[in-house]
């Protein structure tokens, strides 16, 4: 199983993201674009996990979410990883709110006890829209995305998080929701 703790994206936001992908797809070279049902917003990517660990992860995430308070999510604009000339992925930007970082840090503190290793790169909330083969010039796409200013994909209140299992398929990734956890109303004790 390839496990992540993620925010479920509302259908209307997925529709807007898919529309943006469709609008810009022709500007990209050797792109692998996410389809609507493949759009995912992970907060914690645990990675490959034995099925036997799932109950332990569920218990850890249940407690974590019970302590967390609901928070808003705002998805807008574009960004990329790599360089403008050779990007390796394009994403939709997510306003970073303190609650996401609290959940990220507290989740890793809980699951490191099971032998999982927290990534060394900084947590940057985003939704991957497409990936590209290395060494392929996609400057035209980045310039086109830069010109698509003031694009809004959606704002909504997060009241629960979910565990997803990600599987690689011929047509890309598929995500299956395994469990979900309501966020508590008290928030973290400071």
Q: What is the pLDDT of residues 82-136, one digit of tens each?
A: 888 889 899 999 999 999 999 999 999 999 998 999 999 999 999 999 988 777 7
Cβ neighbors of 115 (< 8 A, separation 6 or more) are: none
Q: Which residues contact 103 (CB under 8 A, 6 or more apart)?
A: 5, 43, 44, 64, 65, 68, 161
Q: What's the structural domain count of the chain?
A: 1
* CB-based contact 84:130 (threshold 8 Å): no
- Residues 15-50 have pLDDT tens digits of 999 999 999 999 888 888 998 888 989 999 999 999
Predicted model pTM: 0.87
Query: Is 189 part of a structural domain of the chain?
Result: no
Structure tokens that stand for 46 in this block = 């645990």
User: What percentage of the chain has pLDDT greater than the value 70?
Assistant: 94
The pLDDT of residue 171: 64
SS3 of residue 4 by DSSP: strand
Q: Which residues are within 8 A (CB) of 102 and not within 5 positions of it... i.e. 6 or more apart?
A: 68, 188
Report residue 67 as tokens. 């302590």
Residue 187 lies in a domain: no
Residue at token pair 């809980």? 110
Q: Is residue 143 part of a domain?
A: yes
What pLDDT is recorded for position 180?
93
- Is 190 part of a structural domain of the chain? no
User: Does 175 map to a domain?
Assistant: yes
Helix (H) or strand (E) holding 67: helix 54-67
Residues 133-154 pLDDT 10s: 777 788 889 889 988 878 999 9
Flag whether 188 is in a domain. no
pLDDT score recorded for residue 172: 62
Using the Cα atoms of residue 170, residue 131, residue 8 and residue 54 in order, give the sign of their dihedral.
positive
pLDDT at residue 78 is higher than 90: yes
Whether 34 is covered by a domain: the verdict is yes
Query: What tens digit of pLDDT does each residue of 153-171 get?
Result: 999 999 999 999 987 766 6
Band of residue 190 on the pLDDT scale cut at 50, 70, 90:
very low
Here the tokens at position 13 are 């936001």
Domain that holds residue 9: 2-182
138 Cβ neighbours under 8 A, 6+ residues apart:
27, 28, 29, 31, 85, 86, 87, 132
CATH number at residue 69: 3.90.1140.10
Q: Is residue 52 part of a domain?
A: yes
Written as six digits, the tokens of 132 are: 């590209």
Are the CB atoms for 96 and 125 separated by under 8 Å? yes
Q: Within 10 A of 52 (CB to CB), how many other CB atoms are there?
A: 7
Q: What's the pLDDT at 187?
A: 55
């Amino acid at each position: 199983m390839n496990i992540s703790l993620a925010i479920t994206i509302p259908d209307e936001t997925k529709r807007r993201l898919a529309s943006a992908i469709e609008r810009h797809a022709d500007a990209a070279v050797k792109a692998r674009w996410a389809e609507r049902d493949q759009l995912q917003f992970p907060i914690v990517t645990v990675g490959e996990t034995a099925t036997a660990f799932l109950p332990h992860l569920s218990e850890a995430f249940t407690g974590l979410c019970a302590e967390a308070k609901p928070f808003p999510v705002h998805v807008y604009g574009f960004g990329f990883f790599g360089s403008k000339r050779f990007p390796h992925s394009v994403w939709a930007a997510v306003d970073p709110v303190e609650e996401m970082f609290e959940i990220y840090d507290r989740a890793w503190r809980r699951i490191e006890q099971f032998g999982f290793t927290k990534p060394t790169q900084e947590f940057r909330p985003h939704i991957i829209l497409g990936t590209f083969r290395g060494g392929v010039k996609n400057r035209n796409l980045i310039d086109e995305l830069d010109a698509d200013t003031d694009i809004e994909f959606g704002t909504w209140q997060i009241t629960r998080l979910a565990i997803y299992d990600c599987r690689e398929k011929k047509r890309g990734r598929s995500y299956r929701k395994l469990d979900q956890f309501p966020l508590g109303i008290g928030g973290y004790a400071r």
